[in-house]
Structure 1
Amino acid sequence: MLEELLIFTRGGLILWTCKELGNALKGSPIDTLIRSCLLEERSANVSYDYDAPSAGAAYTLKWTFHNELNLVFVAVYQRILRLLYVDDLLAAVKRDFAAIYNPKRVDYHDFDEIFRQLQKEAEARAKELRKVKQVTVRNSGNSTIKKQGQAAGQKNEQRTSSDSGSGKEDADGNSVKSNGTMNGIKKPLFPRNVIEEDANSNGGAFDVNKLQKLRSKGGKKTSTAVGKVSKTEPKKATKKNRVWDDSPVESQLDFTDPAKEREDGEEVIEAVRGESLMDKEEVVSSDSDDEVDEAPKNAQQSSKKGWFTSVIQSISGNTVLEKSDLQPALKVLKDRLMTKNVAEEIAEKLCESVAASLEGKKLGSFTRISSTVHTAMEEALLRILTPKRSIDILRDVHVSKEHGKPYVIVFVGVNGVGKSTNLAKVAYWLQQHDLKVMMAACDTFRSGAVEQLRTHARRLQVPIFEKGYEKDPAIVAKEAIQEAIHNRSDVVLVDTAGRMQDNEPLMRALSKLINLNKPDLVLFVGEALVGNDAVDQLTKFDQKLADLAMTPSARLIDGILLTKFDTIDDKVGAALSMVYISGSPVMFVGCGQSYADLKKLNVKSIVKTLLK
């Protein structure tokens, strides 16, 4: 049976609920549905599964929309039950509640009796449908048994007739027994003359003469049996050896930083200067609405109703949008998102979600379907990319500082994405806000990783905690945090080894590091270039961290740092794909070679680029 059925507006106002269906819900399935599904533009999904391990409950939630009235209908039931009438019941409730809905009305107690009647009718229809299916399955089973019996009888008759036909003679007068042998010798499948013709023919599949000719060639190119002479292949041009110039490099090509020699032989590198881009606000220029509506014109012209009909509808207004009306404009937007490096699966789900939010709405006067779909997609992208929680790291650092412990950030990701470099950029930005930063070299797997981080620490004049190679990174991180507490450091930046998402030993080591040290922030460092591969990387990282966790509440990815953002031009779809698949916000964007080239993600700029 149903646990609860809820009707509320898109603004969050609960209009009606039926709590007589069962006990109170364990956990918060409705809030989780709104936060994880409806606000993340996953409303086109069939259902949503909610797990509450602490409460020992597992629910399935189904929903439907009334887009004209901006109403949401949600049904909740135990996942172990397979209720076939839920979809039918939601459709009936949506129909009857819309008939009595009034925006100025808040109390709908009179709908209780209507709902009970609708529920009884839906359950009765489900029982009848189940009986019909059982009868159909039983009849199909009986017919199958009858067919099998008839086939067995026919086989017995054929076997009996073959036994009675024994003792016949062949054309040569030899007696043939019932087992198909001739005087005890099996009869060949093909006549002897056919086999002889194949053996003597020159064009047969088993031509011995051809095989002998091929063997006699021995790899040399000779004339074929037909008389054609094989052409000699032209000689390939061999690559000339490179001649290296022994002359010294000109001084104008030497761009290394000036360094001085200490008495003990160590290099003293000049301090890095420049304001980080994180503290600068990026201004997005607003274009006219003509550019927004220019591209979807072709989609509107290609619809079945025709361009002239759509113009008449836009003038008259009050046209109820159907899914078939939205498909041409949505196809144009889907293709545009895919050209901007958005994963195909995510672009498809976004279009389905937009269609679900527009279906049934009335088109206003002098409004084209293409512009309506474009506006809905823009709002959906803004909801996805806008962080659902605070990403103010500076505030979190000061809160942690008041509690007398350092703020720990762990950088994770695949090989070669730039974890160490962007870790140094984050350290440089934190230094500019008068925070005491310490680096922890926990990449004990890759050769040269400790030396690379040591170079960044020396350039930024930041202390570094290192234990060399072939050490347990979880223990190194734990000792680094203890050292930071002793030295009263504000932030600890933990560098980890790059690992592929399918590398089981390294993923297990990463899970141990996170579960043992419980960092305040786990940042996934990903490239803005990868596109569809970013979805696979982030999904498997989250899945491995959940599977290998030693506690019921697994620690997953908290935020994303996108690197090489200055190399992708308008192919910014990786940011959308990674946020959509994980629900984690993009907290940093690497956009250059220097330490100051780190900035925030401008959501409006990304949305404008995706739909341009």
Structure 2
Amino acid sequence: MLEQLLIFTRGGLILWTCNELSNALKGSPIDTLIRSCLLEERSGLASYNYDAPGASYTLRWTFHNELGLVFVAVYQKILHLLYVDDLLSMVKREFSVVYDPSKTEYGDFNDVYRQLRLEAEARAEELKKSSKLGSRIVNKNQEQGQKTKFDQGGKRIGGGNLKSDSGDGDLGKGNKLENGHVNGGTLVEDVKQRGGVNDKENLSSNNGAFDVNKLQKLRSKGVKKNDTVVATKGSKADLKKKVTKKNRVWDDSPKEVKLDYTDPVTENGDEHVNYAAANEGESMMDKEEVFSSDSENEEEEQVGDGAKAGTKSKGWFSSMFQSIAGKANLERADLAPALKGLKDRLMTKNVAEEIAEKLCESVATSLEGKKLGSFTRISSTVQAAMEDALVRILTPKRSIDILRDVHAAKEQGKPYVVVFVGVNGVGKSTNLAKVAYWLLQHKASVMMAACDTFRSGAVEQLRTHARRLQIPIFEKGYEKDPAVVAKEAIQEATRTGSDVVLVDTAGRMQDNEPLMRALSKLINLNNPDLVLFVGEALVGNDAVDQLSKFNQKLADLSTSPNPRLIDGILLTKFDTIDDKVGAALSMVYISGAPVMFVGCGQSYTDLKKLNVKSIVKTLLK
């Protein structure tokens, strides 16, 4: 039985709710559907599962894009209601007839809905009966086929003997039984008579297959010994030629840039730490990036080869007529060529294939049934809808102002804790130092916590950054529990009054069970304010696998009913990808977490914000 069925506008105004379904929904499945699915361009999915303490629902929906209406049905997840899709389509058809934009109450629609529900349930029962009848007929035929059995002599039990080619009652040599088996001993003899495996003549060569003997003969004819000799002599002559090495020019001028940042050691073995902190200028995080949109060029661009092919296939007159007069309602067949070209374009920009396909499906769902305006092309309509969808996905749904959160935590008398996680070799330690440099420029006291106790040299690497930036570092060496080290670091930061604690963790693959369990323990024990996933901008399809499995492992291994997942993303190596910016879209789409930092170089200042408009323009150009 349905738990709820309601109709609301895209603006959020509820027009009608079924009064017969008096059961109050537990939790907020409708709000979660809107926030996690409809606003995240996942409306192309078939259904959505809502799981909460004491509640487990399945939600199905449909749109009336021309009127801007949403129809949602909610029922228990354990049930498999066959009539829901049919009921939604019928309710959509009947409600669109009585819909009035100036009207907000539709109490008279209850009788219509009651009749539609009875009709949908009757259709489902008929379908169920027909499927059961078909399965019974199939089972009956199988039982009749199994009754026919054979004895060891090849005779059928319970009936006459099977006829063979020789006419007698026994099965002839080489003949097959009804179950596909061959009578014993006849297969080998038959193969030998036709030129079997043991004969000199190869049977496969008669059937047109490749003959190895012919290949060896062709090789022996085509290759000459003189050619090989000449080739070897020529190669030896080339080896004798040596390139003369140029004389080295020594320069006695002093080095302009100091590359060795290790601490000088005195004769007594004490280290000097009284040198100036690294100052490389203003961080790029505080610089506003100027973006200019070329609207004229965007209007003239086509969506892709698929859109061009679709326009040509319909003919010049028909496409021009649709642009001038408009189209009554857009259908999937009209949108398919433009969406195909758009999907190919997104994939060339390093967007994961799964994400590109879901985005195109969501755009098709949002445009299906809409009326195409006059002097408007389908390709332009599809591209505008995709642009809106990309902006909506990449725009953060919550505040990402870390400085404000740092000051809020400082007022509460506790440090702001950030945990950097990610796979191996993505640049967690380097970008942690960049974030520390940016925070220092905003007068925040920072402490580093060396919780990568697994990789050799990780503590020394972080110690070098800390000494350059002249900030304290909390370390306990290697082979220690990183969760305990992080907890002690937070306690030390609270005692000394540090504003921010940046926790460096070991790089781990998403399938490494022991390391993922250690990471989950660190997050559950310390409850950080921000879990930052550090990922490369170079990855494509692997970005989906990394983030989805990180979130899945953190959820499965958590002991809390509300597990902590990835809160934000830091993209590294963004200066090496040219226009292949699709990894940002893939990561945000699969996790729902915003991109908070973008690493674009090797120095401490090479850290900036993500420009959403620039990314969207790059993806669609």
TM over 0.5: yes
Matched residue, 1:67:
65
Question: What letter is aligned with 1:80?
Answer: I
Contact 1:257 1:269 in 2 (8 A): no
Matched residue, 2:21:
21
Contact 1:293 1:370 in 2 (8 A): no
- SS of match in other structure, 2:561: coil
TM-score, length basis structure 1: 0.87
Q: CA deviation at 1:548?
A: 1.2
1:345 aligns with 2:354: yes
Q: How far apart are the structure 1 equivalents of 2:562 and 2:197?
A: 74
Matched residue, 2:290:
283
Contact 2:277 2:470 in 1 (8 A): no
Residue deviations 1:52-94, cap 9 Å, x none? Answer: 12xx111000000000000000000001110000000000000
Deviating more after overlay: 147-156 vs 30-39: 147-156
Q: CA deviation at 1:540?
A: 1.1
1:467-486 alignment, distance < 5 Å: 467-486=476-495
- SS of match in other structure, 1:302: helix
2:78 corresponds, among 77, 80, 93, to 80
Residue deviations 1:300-326, cap 9 Å, x none? Answer: 442242233111111112531111111
Seen in structure 2, the aligned counterparts of structure 1 residues 485 and 302 have a Cα distance that, compared at 3 Å, is same
Matched residue, 1:256:
258
Contact 2:283 2:604 in 1 (8 A): yes
Contact 2:161 2:169 in 1 (8 A): no
Q: CA deviation at 1:398?
A: 1.0
Contact 1:385 1:579 in 2 (8 A): yes
Question: What letter is aligned with 2:38?
Answer: L
Matched residue, 2:272:
266
Residue deviations 1:100-129, cap 9 Å, x none? Answer: 001111111111111111111111111111
Question: What letter is aligned with 2:439?
Answer: L
Q: CA deviation at 1:610?
A: 0.6
1:609 aligns with 2:618: yes
Q: How far apart are the structure 2 equivalents of 1:476 and 1:243?
A: 54
Q: CA deviation at 1:147?
A: 2.7
Matched residue, 1:315:
324
Q: CA deviation at 1:258?
A: 8.0
Matched residue, 1:453:
462
1:574 corresponds, among 583, 599, 604, to 583
Q: How far apart are the structure 2 equivalents of 1:508 and 1:7?
A: 44
Seen in structure 2, the aligned counterparts of structure 1 residues 309 and 518 have a Cα distance that, compared at 3 Å, is same
2:89 corresponds, among 88, 91, 107, to 91
- SS of match in other structure, 2:79: coil
Question: What letter is aligned with 1:256?
Answer: K
Question: What letter is aligned with 2:428?
Answer: K
Q: CA deviation at 1:455?
A: 0.6
Q: How far apart are the structure 1 equivalents of 2:353 and 2:70?
A: 28
Q: CA deviation at 1:282?
A: 1.1
Q: CA deviation at 1:250?
A: 6.5
Residue deviations 1:257-302, cap 9 Å, x none? Answer: 5879575453635531311111111111110334343223754442
Q: How far apart are the structure 2 equivalents of 1:575 and 1:197?
A: 61
- Stretches of structure 2 that go unaligned for 5 or more consecutive residues are 174-182, 204-215
1:48-197 alignment, distance < 5 Å: 48-53=48-53, 56-150=54-148, 155-156=156-157, 190=189
Seen in structure 2, the aligned counterparts of structure 1 residues 454 and 325 have a Cα distance that, compared at 3 Å, is same
Q: How far apart are the structure 2 equivalents of 1:356 and 1:527?
A: 32
Q: How far apart are the structure 2 equivalents of 1:513 and 1:5?
A: 43
1:410 aligns with 2:419: yes
Q: How far apart are the structure 2 equivalents of 1:453 and 1:101?
A: 64
- SS of match in other structure, 1:59: strand
- SS of match in other structure, 2:583: helix
Matched residue, 1:7:
7
Matched residue, 2:398:
389
Question: What letter is aligned with 1:494?
Answer: V
Q: How far apart are the structure 2 equivalents of 1:161 and 1:369?
A: 66
- SS of match in other structure, 1:430: helix
- SS of match in other structure, 2:580: coil
Matched residue, 1:376:
385
Seen in structure 2, the aligned counterparts of structure 1 residues 229 and 190 have a Cα distance that, compared at 3 Å, is farther
Q: CA deviation at 1:334?
A: 0.8
Contact 1:63 1:90 in 2 (8 A): yes
Q: How far apart are the structure 1 equivalents of 2:21 and 2:383?
A: 41
Q: What percent identity do the matched residue pairs reach?
A: 68
1:36 aligns with 2:36: yes
Seen in structure 2, the aligned counterparts of structure 1 residues 329 and 110 have a Cα distance that, compared at 3 Å, is same
Q: CA deviation at 1:523?
A: 0.3
Deviating more after overlay: 309-318 vs 382-391: 309-318
Q: CA deviation at 1:405?
A: 0.6
Q: CA deviation at 1:247?
A: 6.8
* Count of residues in Structure 1 that have an aligned counterpart in Structure 2: 578
Question: What letter is aligned with 2:99?
Answer: Y
- SS of match in other structure, 1:61: strand
- SS of match in other structure, 1:7: strand
- Stretches of structure 1 that go unaligned for 5 or more consecutive residues are 171-179, 206-220
- SS of match in other structure, 2:601: coil
Question: What letter is aligned with 1:140?
Answer: V
Q: How far apart are the structure 2 equivalents of 1:465 and 1:367?
A: 62
Residue deviations 1:465-499, cap 9 Å, x none? Answer: 00011111011000000000000110000000111
Q: CA deviation at 1:149?
A: 2.6
Seen in structure 2, the aligned counterparts of structure 1 residues 249 and 127 have a Cα distance that, compared at 3 Å, is farther
Q: How far apart are the structure 2 equivalents of 1:13 and 1:494?
A: 45
Q: CA deviation at 1:226?
A: 8.7
Q: How far apart are the structure 1 equivalents of 2:421 and 2:113?
A: 51
Deviating more after overlay: 377-386 vs 139-148: 139-148
CA RMSD in angstroms comes to 3.3
Q: CA deviation at 1:249?
A: 6.8
Seen in structure 2, the aligned counterparts of structure 1 residues 40 and 198 have a Cα distance that, compared at 3 Å, is closer
Q: How far apart are the structure 2 equivalents of 1:519 and 1:412?
A: 12
Q: How far apart are the structure 2 equivalents of 1:586 and 1:432?
A: 21
Contact 2:537 2:584 in 1 (8 A): yes
Seen in structure 2, the aligned counterparts of structure 1 residues 436 and 142 have a Cα distance that, compared at 3 Å, is same
Contact 1:343 1:531 in 2 (8 A): yes
Seen in structure 2, the aligned counterparts of structure 1 residues 151 and 321 have a Cα distance that, compared at 3 Å, is farther
1:521 corresponds, among 524, 530, 533, to 530
Question: What letter is aligned with 2:40?
Answer: E
Contact 2:195 2:202 in 1 (8 A): no
Contact 1:272 1:459 in 2 (8 A): no
Q: How far apart are the structure 1 equivalents of 2:72 and 2:285?
A: 42
Q: CA deviation at 1:188?
A: 11
Residue deviations 1:156-184, cap 9 Å, x none? Answer: 3576999x9799xx9xxxxxxxxx99xxx
Contact 2:568 2:593 in 1 (8 A): yes
Question: What letter is aligned with 1:266?
Answer: H
